[in-house]
Amino acid sequence: MQPDELTALFERARTLSQQQHTWAEADRVWGEVIDAYRAALRSSGPVNRRDQQQLARALWRRGMLAAARGDLTASTTLGQEAVVAFAEVHDAVRREEPSATGPRRDEALAEMIVALLDLGESAFAAGQPATRLALIGRALEVGLHTAGPPPGAGPKTREAMGTAYHNHANALVHRALTGDPTGDDAREAALAASRAAELRQALADPSRPLSMWELANTYAVYAQCLALIGDFDRARTVLQLGTELANLLGPAGVEIVAKLRVAADMVQLRQPEAADGERRRWGWRRR
């Protein structure tokens, strides 16, 4: 298959993945894409870096589609293959571009981190919260070891690390609320959420609505963390920031508003009088 034909097939699979009624067809076409890129990489001659990267992306996208369809076994298997493929891409790019902040290296590193995080979410959906935390920890370790502290990393890596810290906070909050917390889960979660908020604040751009949604989402998790550790003043401040941003998002912010209500309920349970005042001011009620 010629390069332009491969590209067209990839785009067809991506387009089909956007509508639920064509998910089954999308899955079939992703299978063709993966087979085609594997065949191209088996051909003689030097490895085509673009084909290698597109194979990793196809595995990842098909895994995400499997998760959306509820096929957690396929999602996990494809996610594991994607992580290996993205790691191979990153290793190859590292030899060609030593600086972790170079554009190609930054992109390869960010994609590897995101693949690890998405595999973690698939594990969580499959009832494996400990595996999720381990994969998040691995993603954070890869980012910090390779690019150093996130503020000095490339833009795509900073964005990926913002997601990693957000997911870490979310996972720790879940364990603190539903399981047997280990050590200082709540404080670790608050620290992770603080780091996620810092990164996402720097990346927030009104011209990129997704960046604003991600920041508001982190505020919702951060407020829950602060409620858990009893830092009610900061919790109310973060609740206010999250509410203002979620309101600006309109319908896209509905899910986040629900999370903010959960955080407000958590504050009320731990400091009823203060939280009641906030509810009267914002007009929120328990649901």
- 83 falls within a domain: yes
Q: Distances in Å between the alpha carbon of 143 and those of 102, 111, 117, 152, 193?
A: 14, 11, 12, 11, 17
**pLDDT tens string 148-185:** 888 889 999 999 999 999 999 999 999 998 876 556 89
Q: Taking residues 263-286, report their average pLDDT.
A: 60
Of the ranges 225-229, 266-270, 272-276, the best mean pLDDT one = 225-229
Domain that holds residue 20: 1-96
Q: Over pLDDT 90: what percentage of the chain?
A: 84
- 84 falls within a domain: yes
Q: What is the pLDDT of residue 83?
A: 98
**pLDDT tens string 32-81:** 999 999 999 998 678 889 999 999 999 999 999 999 999 999 999 999 99
Q: Distances in Å between the alpha carbon of 132 and those of 85, 136, 179?
A: 20, 6, 14
- 239 falls within a domain: no
Rounded to whole angstroms, the Cα distance separating 274 from 51 reads 57
Q: Which amino acid is at 225?
A: C
Q: What is the pLDDT of residue 177?
A: 87
Rounded to whole angstroms, the Cα distance separating 284 from 281 reads 8
Rounded to whole angstroms, the Cα distance separating 84 from 82 reads 5
- 193 falls within a domain: no
- 230 falls within a domain: no
Contacting residues for 123 by C-beta, under 8 A, at least 6 apart: 76, 129, 131, 132, 135
- 86 falls within a domain: yes
Domains in the chain, number? 1
pLDDT at 267 over 80: yes
Give the model's confidence band at 287: pLDDT under 50 very low, under 70 low, under 90 confident, else very high. very low
Q: Distances in Å between the alpha carbon of 251 and those of 46, 219, 248, 285?
A: 49, 17, 9, 19
Rounded to whole angstroms, the Cα distance separating 148 from 164 reads 14
- 1 falls within a domain: yes
**What totals of helices (H) and strands (E) does the chain contain, helices first?**
12, 0
Contacting residues for 210 by C-beta, under 8 A, at least 6 apart: none
- 77 falls within a domain: yes
**pLDDT tens string 105-121:** 999 999 999 999 999 99
